[in-house]
Amino acid sequence: MKQVEKDTTRELETEKVSVLLWRYAIPAIVSSMVVALYNIVDRIYIGQGVGAMAISGLSITFPLLVLLQAFGTLVGVGAATRVSIVLGMKDKHWAENILAHSLMMMFCISGSLIILSMIFLNPLLELFGGSEHTIPYAKEYLSYVLPGSIFSSLSFGAAGMMRSTGYPGKSMRVILMGAILNVILDPVFIFWFDMGIRGAAIATVISMGISATYGQWHFSKPSSYLRYRRHGFRPKKQIIGSILAIGMSPFLINAASSVIVIQVNQLLVRHGGDLAVGVHGIIGAYGMFVVMIVFGLCHGMQPIVGYNYGAGRKKRVKDAFFLTLKYASLVTGFGFIMAMLFPRLMARAFNSDPLLLDMTEHAIRISFMAFAMVGFQVVIGQFFQSIGKVKNAIILSLSRQVLFLCPALYLCSFSWGLTGVWAAMPLSDFLAAVLALILLLREKKKIYE
């Protein structure tokens, strides 16, 4: 008996917006928090089981892994956003074309980047601020994680597409599956099998492989509202172009992050040594945990805003946006308070080295001074992306890290050394939030009035 396809997107235009936002956001928030917790726990296991220098070794792998993630979001987020808008226009056939194209593009782009990264691994790690003390740890980790990064792209891409097609619960399960498996397998491989940082890498690849398999299997089933069909795998330039146009904003965010981490690592080594690179890794882990909650809210907002914008229901677009903005600001405000009150406690979870603790406490208090404004800027940028306002989304993607942080790092570090590196971060957060407000006020009548 043939299974009936259920239109899982109808609630996007009929359900109360506040109810709908939480229905979509809670699975995304849970997924994001678990992923962030996994990254924190991963660093804790490595710091406690291998040593403080291993944290620094792991930190110099971030630019490369973030760059690979950037190309994954270029396709994954671009395709998911475009599918939301197209489904709002009631064009399911075109949405399935986008789904199939996203899979083809993911394999082509990620596969090419993995091969190039493996060939040029040594010079890349030196560029990222590695030294003779940290590069061996980084190479051991990346020798497994780099080939397996295709699984991470496939699992996150599938999760985003599930949210856009009305399966927020399944989207959460895809991410939870990989993250929870990783947390379980990490101590097994690091401590029980005594494999150190190599064990952490193997645990990551196994977990993401299982998560990716589950996510892609969903879009092969006849019962899924959207699924892979033969007609979708015929390459079409306009689909590829539309995916890349919308995906360019999150791509630039991650690509800029990669470039900035390289710049920061080089300045940290110059002014504070290898240990300062490890401190930056700890700061990044905490900041990512809070910001990932904001991105979870934005992931919940995206299908609601994209669908209703495509359907011409602008009041629902406005309501979803302002609710997300309010909750995101509360989250980053709470993150700011915690950073000011308990910086040493956060550092102690990773390692008990006294010098590392002192350096981290000082760095957290400075670098999180304007953190309360980050949620505001992120939501506005994600909102522009969700409705296809590519130009504004790209400007905001580049504002904090390229337009503001890049010059601030050199100016502040020239004046105050290591303290200046930390001080550049809140300065760029403040300026980026001001720019986001200006762009929102300039566009508001066109968007939702």
CA distance 281 to 348: 14
pTM for the predicted model, two decimal places = 0.72
Kindly state the tokens that stand for 63. Answer: 């630019």
Decide: 291 and 368 in contact? Cβ < 8 Å. no
Q: Please name the amino acid found at residue 300.
A: G
Around Cβ 7, how many Cβ atoms within 10 Å? 12
Cα of first residue to Cα of last residue in the chain, in angstroms, is: 48
Max alpha carbon distance in the chain (Å)?
73
Q: Please name the amino acid found at residue 423.
A: A
Q: Which residue has the higher pLDDT, 2 or 407?
A: 407
In this prediction, residue 449 carries a pLDDT of: 56
Confidence of residue 2 (pLDDT cuts 50, 70, 90): very low
In this prediction, residue 237 carries a pLDDT of: 92
Between helix 390-398 and helix 374-386 the angle, nearest 10°, is 150
- Taking the CA atoms of 45, 192, 134 and 48 in sequence, report the sign of the dihedral they define: positive
- Taking the CA atoms of 400, 405, 407 and 411 in sequence, report the sign of the dihedral they define: positive
CA distance 261 to 335: 21
pLDDT in tens, 194-208: 888 899 899 989 999
Residue-by-residue DSSP string for 397-408:
HHIIIIIIIHHH
Decide: 265 and 276 in contact? Cβ < 8 Å. no
pLDDT in tens, 259-285: 888 889 889 989 988 888 888 888 988
Highest mean pLDDT among 27-41, 236-250, 418-432: 418-432
Query: What is the rounded average pLDDT for all residues in the chain?
Result: 87
Confidence of residue 446 (pLDDT cuts 50, 70, 90): low
In this prediction, residue 185 carries a pLDDT of: 92
Confidence of residue 8 (pLDDT cuts 50, 70, 90): low
In this prediction, residue 4 carries a pLDDT of: 44
Q: Please name the amino acid found at residue 53.
A: M
pLDDT in tens, 295-315: 889 988 988 998 888 888 888
Q: Domain ranges in the chain?
A: 20-448
